A and B are shown apart, each in its own frame.
Chain A
Amino acid sequence: MSSSIAIDPPLSVNFLAGQRVPPVLRPVDRSGQMMKSPHIVPVTSRREFLQRAGCGFGALAFSYLLGMDTRVARAANAKIDPLNPLASRLPHHAPKAKSVIWVFMEGGPSHLDLFDPKPALNAMAGKPMPESFGKVITAMGTASNTLMPSKRTFKQHGQSGIWISDWYPHIAEHADDLAILRSCWADGLNHVGSVCQMNTGDILAGRPSLGAWAAYGLGSANENLPTFVIMTDANEVLGGPKNWSSGFLPAAYQGTQFRSDGTPVFHLSPPESVGDKQQRSKLDFLAMLNKQYAADKLEDSELAARLNSYELAYRMQSAAPEAVDLAKESDVTKKLYGMDEEATRKFGANCLLARRLVERGVRFVQCYSGSGSAWDAHADIEANHSKMCKSSDKPIAGLLADLKARGLLDSTLVVWGGEFGRTPFNEKGNGRDHNPWGFTIWMAGGGVKPGSVTGATDEIGLRAVENRAHVHDIHATILHLLGFDHTNLTYLHNGRDERATINGGEVITKMLA
């Protein structure tokens, strides 16, 4: 399909010029030029938003209709529920992945010691970085420090022969499932900006998180659960909820942090002094009040939506605890995720929860490993990464194995990575500083090319040099796998058709199956 359709003009724009006009469907090319025209007028109310979202996504579904499965498109188009912003929607093209599980190694894992072996670095160990590598400003002012070798043993694994170090023995067993991207780069120097960019595309907070874009684009597949869920294994993620914010998108699309103790969502159960039957009776009374109020306001879909939201809340009261109840999982499964060992128990439980959520239709799950920047190995990277790798290796390998065994890996995109990598030069003699100029992430399942390696850094692993992939490219690729043309999933804000990839982003086609 070489073209998609945009609405021109949007339904309500020409109102004052006369009668409402039906939207004109106008083909636009996919080179990125199409965004000039269809400025969708921003919404002022939820009501208006729903109308817009309705016709906007209707048009998107229509593009699907032209090139793809006609019956599916029609059905989905009809299913758009004007009362619910999270109504399930079809993306632009047939998706490879229905859900994303992003295991986020917060603090910056060292690509040089995990997935990107550099014999030249070991050879130049102890020397200053040659001037030919250029000047960099680092977070800790370490650029003139000497180069530090990797103490890891790298081996090739699987049929694909992918290099993985001895810090990740369990993940290495899945080498043939991984699509490794060794040429990532980002704009930030500090954690908070970089974590923010990896989530929202910008080092400055305020934009919607990729998970919020996914929720906006796809809606929910299970309205009894949040669409976008975040789990942490230690402290608060740097920058906190900004990282799963809906930014300028409506609040319905923001991520929900599942707590590991108590109820997964705040206020999920009624206060102690209110019984179940009593709660139901209250809600019935509330519904009656709302129906009486709406009796002469039937045209107001917002009122109906609010009435409905209480019923959704009521269902979430039972659905969410069920989703996070690990008691039903077998000991074998728990062991697979490392839940039987202290070092891996917490993160393993989160990975298992992620699988349960994805099974139940949650679109986007993020599990932070070392939340609060525990991977940040400025000193003694050996001790730090030994610990962090141990705590994440088995749970992630378990997740891949479990998803595969249940036939979910094909429809679930697993993303591994941090906010940046680490420097080839030392910090404090045995640590590494932040490196946003070159680092590695990998993806598995959900339509990526299994057992592949894309891109390369320079000979010491400082900068990405081949198939350079900016964060926007990573986001474009994830959206592509979810069925979106990233340049066409937009929301008008402050006079601009904003998109997840801001002004950039290209799908990394070499990573695709």
Chain B
Amino acid sequence: MVKSNRSSTVHLALAAFSFITAASAAESAEREFTAQERSHWAFQKVTRPQVPIISDKNVRSPIDAFILAELKARNLELAPAADKNTLLRRASLDLIGLPPSPDELQAFLEDDCGHPFERAVDRLLNSPHYGERWARHWLDLARYAESEGFKADETRPNAWRYRDYVIKSFNNNKPYDRFLKEQLAGDELWPDDTDAIVATAFNRHYPDESNARNLMQRRQEILNDITDTVGSVFTGVTYGCARCHDHKYDPILQSDYYRLQAFFANTAADDNIILASDDFVKQHQEQLAFWEKQTRAIREQMIEIEEPKRAAIIKDYVEKYPEEIQAALAKPESQRTAFECQMVAKANLYLSPSSHQYIASTKAVVASLKPEVKKQWEELNAELRGFDHLHPGLLPVATGITDLSAASPSTYLLSRGLYDAPKDEVKPGFLAILNPSPATVSQPPKRDSTGRRAALASVLTDPRNPLTARVMVNRIWHYHFGRGIVGTPSDFGLKGDRPTHPALLDWLASEFIQNGWSMKHIHRLIMTSDTYRQASAYNEKAGRIDPENRLLWRFPRQRLEGEAIRDSMLAVSGRLNAKMGGPSVFPKLPTGMTTRGGWDLNQDEAERDRRSIYVFVRRNTRYPMFETFDMPDTHESCARRNITTSPIQALTMLNSDLTLGWAQSFAGRVLALAGTDRHAQIEAAYRLAYARVPNPAEEKSIRSFLDKHRAIVAERAATGAKLALPAELTDKMDSTDGAALVDFCHMLMNANEFVYRN
């Protein structure tokens, strides 16, 4: 682990070009931008607006002043504050994705410090679960997955390190500008900082086809993916529309698309980034050399068996490439053009022995050996295994992207977006409406890299950039309220939604920048406002005037995502394994479900109960429970999830062994907390599931259900049928009562109150 290198940062920061106003920039662009385009709100400089003065009300925070100004203009008010139970459950699900525990609830209700909610928000922001919750939002944007997609959907064995990087970054409140720079150009800016290197995987999460023959086309598709993703995530601009023609609605030229793409023209996947200190690597090499020496004789015999097969596999594979690719592969490295280097780098993902996708891996070779030769090989291998104790093992490896060298291949505007229809060459640059000049790029001092991505990162994090801060504070607002101030979080264009509260958006953006791009600062500002604390109760008058609650006259009730539903069920049932980080886990799939690429069910059952963010993300087979609850499809960035309701969701929640098993654990926990007293059981279950106790009317109807249901269960038990009983049921309780309690707990977790953040 090595210290970060500040000098290169400073050097590259100087490379940033300055922003000029949209109006003057437009003058030298390829086409005239209209007055409407030039005056589009999102392209104007962020200014810090005056906080409105609300005379007749004790306004808690500037956010409330902005919200009240709009409400009052329509004779509306904020709703009264939500009750404390609701508020804590809301905040807890919002910040950490888990309901509050009964102890946390108790502590909050009894906290008499004068500002208990502020304290609760701080506690939640400091919880390591905060990063796990908010990283999931970011992973949606990053179209994060751990497999290639396409036919084989092969595993990307080290993709999870990026997921852990995002969790850690949120937990450490990494300044957003730094977070952005690391993901775009961590390798160029901080080549000695492991986190910054791992961060570059943001641009490595594209789906990829290992079986592609036309690498020219494949490279273009990858670049398109990166361009679309970077454009929408960091700038909130729908660049994708400009791939084939000038954007129909927004002032985005087709050349803008390729200007952005040019920043990435020399990138390639780097799946072998060693995450170890020089000393460690040296030691490792020495030990490996020793093992090699000890095993040379055996290995030479094995290689002799393997080599003809290996050569045949590679020859067959290479011959399927088009001629120009074969020619590039055949050339000595020094004679390859920058573009040919790109082709070779892509092919080497399959042809290089150190790649996890090597087509002639020992496994593949051995599989194709004739039985008698294979037997011979296996004997040798058994002998080799005897030396395993001398082998140093594999070095920890990360995946990311890198530039192949300082010399980038040219980027061309492509006619209709076709890879083989290049038109004019373009240089890296940002949106022409903001600055038509090419970006100023300097090669980083310590890397053989173009420096282009570092230049882009500088442009994006320049406080004068009108998009970056607005886009990010709007995303944070979106996840808190279910709808952004701009309702289309990745489309700030002319056809996207206009901000409901433009001044508030600017105020938040300027707060963000002034406070060192601190995301936790924005959370705190939002969550401690009265706007956030208000109840979700309906108000007919307001409902008539603003039926969609755009003005926030109440808190918007929101359904939890599939991940949060699963995590909440695990938490309530007491089964949640809070272990953080590391390789992903594989919980049980429904019986009969198969996946190409494999699903390596964890044998250690506790691992299956890890938080949802650690569940392996296989592109072609999302974990079914998440998929049915609208988890995005991971092939492109998702800024806003759909929220649908379907009978398939109901079947999953109702009929899977998994949820019934959780209900059994939940019931076991209720018994442990409350013993056999029914009143105590009902209250304990409600506290766990809903962070409240039921009112007398509710309790009465629950009791009547339990009586009736118990009789039904008893009738069934009399036939000798198997019952689902609470975990660790003691002999204190009758099994029919136990089964009824399980069903009660099961339905509590199926009910709307459980899956909504109220």
Contacts and interface: CB of A to CB of B under 8 A. Distances in A.
A36 B248 contact: yes
B654 A41 contact: no
A3 to B, nearest CB: 21
A31 interface: no
A288 interface: yes
Interface stretch (A310-318, A406-414, A450-458, A475-483): A310-318
Contacts of B628: 251
Nearest to A503: B244
A274 B748 contact: no
Interface in A417-445: none
A166 to B, nearest CB: 32
A16 B646 contact: no
A85 B320 CA distance: 47
B213 A85 contact: no
Interface string A198-232: 00000011100000000000000001001000000
B644 A46 contact: yes
Interface in B521-563: 536-538, 543, 546-548, 550, 557-559
A302 B207 contact: no
Nearest to A263: B592
Contacts of A204: 207, 221, 635
Contact of B491 (A141, A279, A494): A494
B721 A275 contact: yes
Interface stretch (B84-92, B482-490, B574-582): B482-490
Contacts of A126: none
A85 B493 CA distance: 28
Interface string A265-277: 1111111111101
A286 B621 contact: no
Contacts of A494: 232, 238, 240, 490-491, 636
Interface string B623-654: 01001111001011000101111111111101
B652 A46 contact: no
Interface string A251-289: 110001001011001111111111101110111011011
Interface stretch (A87-95, A188-196, A347-355, A385-393): A188-196
B240 A247 contact: no
B538 A297 contact: yes
A309 B724 contact: no
A49 B487 CA distance: 13
A139 B550 contact: no
A281 B559 contact: no
In terms of DSSP, what is the predominant structure of the interface of chain B? loop
A206 B633 contact: yes
A45 B643 contact: yes
Contact of A252 (B244, B644, B712): B644
A494 B747 CA distance: 38
B622 to A, nearest CB: 8
B149 A205 contact: yes
B249 interface: yes
Interface string B216-235: 00000100000000001000
Given A41-B487, A189-B214, A293-B752, A85 B644 contact: yes
B420 to A, nearest CB: 11
A338 B351 CA distance: 47
B241 to A, nearest CB: 6
A235 to B, nearest CB: 9
B238 A293 contact: no
B331 interface: no
Contacts of A279: 654
A46 B649 CA distance: 14
Interface stretch (B53-61, B356-364, B449-457, B494-502): B494-502
Contact of B642 (A16, A189, A250): A250
Given A285-B709, A306-B752, A236 B743 contact: no
Interface residues of A, number: 93
Nearest to A36: B248
A123 to B, nearest CB: 29
Interface string A50-68: 0000000000000000000
B751 A293 contact: yes
A459 interface: no
A107 B541 CA distance: 60
A132 interface: no
A338 B488 CA distance: 53
Contacts of A223: 647
A245 B633 contact: yes
B514 interface: no
Contacts of B648: 226, 256, 265, 313
Contact of B655 (A247, A267, A299): A267
A349 to B, nearest CB: 17
Contacts of B298: none
B746 interface: yes
A81 interface: no
A240 interface: yes
B209 interface: yes
A192 B213 CA distance: 13
B642 A49 contact: yes
A37 B47 CA distance: 32
B153 to A, nearest CB: 7
A44 B556 CA distance: 12
Given A313-B651, A496-B240, A278 B716 contact: yes
Interface stretch (B96-104, B124-132, B593-601): B593-601
A468 interface: no
A252 B628 CA distance: 8
Contact of B151 (A36, A140, A239, A495): A239
B590 A266 contact: yes
Nearest to A137: B322
Contacts of A466: none
B747 A286 contact: yes
B655 A270 contact: yes
A145 interface: no
A277 B713 CA distance: 9
A156 interface: no
Given A36-B248, A44-B640, A137-B322, A266 B624 contact: yes
Interface string B594-625: 11100000000000000000000001110010
Contacts of A12: 548
A346 interface: no
A223 B168 CA distance: 45
Interface string A142-160: 0000000000000000000
Given A45-B482, A303-B752, A494-B240, A141 B213 contact: yes
Most chain-A CB neighbours within 10 Å: which of B547, B635, B660?
B635
Given A204-B221, A267-B654, A274 B150 contact: no
16 contacts: A39-B495, A42-B488, A45-B483, A206-B633, A206-B636, A242-B619, A274-B743, A278-B713, A281-B705, A281-B709, A289-B752, A292-B701, A297-B557, A298-B538, A313-B650, A494-B491
Interface of B: 149-151, 153, 207, 209, 211-214, 221, 232, 238, 240-241, 244, 248-250, 319-322, 482-483, 487-488, 490-491, 493, 495-498, 500, 536-538, 543, 546-548, 550, 557-559, 590-596, 619-621, 624, 627-630, 633, 635-636, 640, 642-652, 654-657, 660, 698, 701, 705, 708-709, 712-713, 715-716, 721-724, 739, 743-744, 746-748, 750-753, 755-756
5 smallest beta-carbon distances between A and B, as pairs: A206-B635, A495-B238, A192-B151, A313-B650, A312-B647
Given A193-B209, A286-B747, 7 more contacts: A12-B548, A85-B646, A139-B320, A265-B651, A268-B655, A278-B743, A282-B654
Interface of A: 12, 15-16, 20, 36, 39, 41-46, 48-49, 85, 137-141, 189-193, 204-206, 223, 226, 236, 238-242, 245, 247-252, 256, 259, 261-262, 265-275, 277-279, 281-283, 285-286, 288-290, 292-294, 296-300, 302-303, 305-310, 312-313, 316-317, 494-496, 503
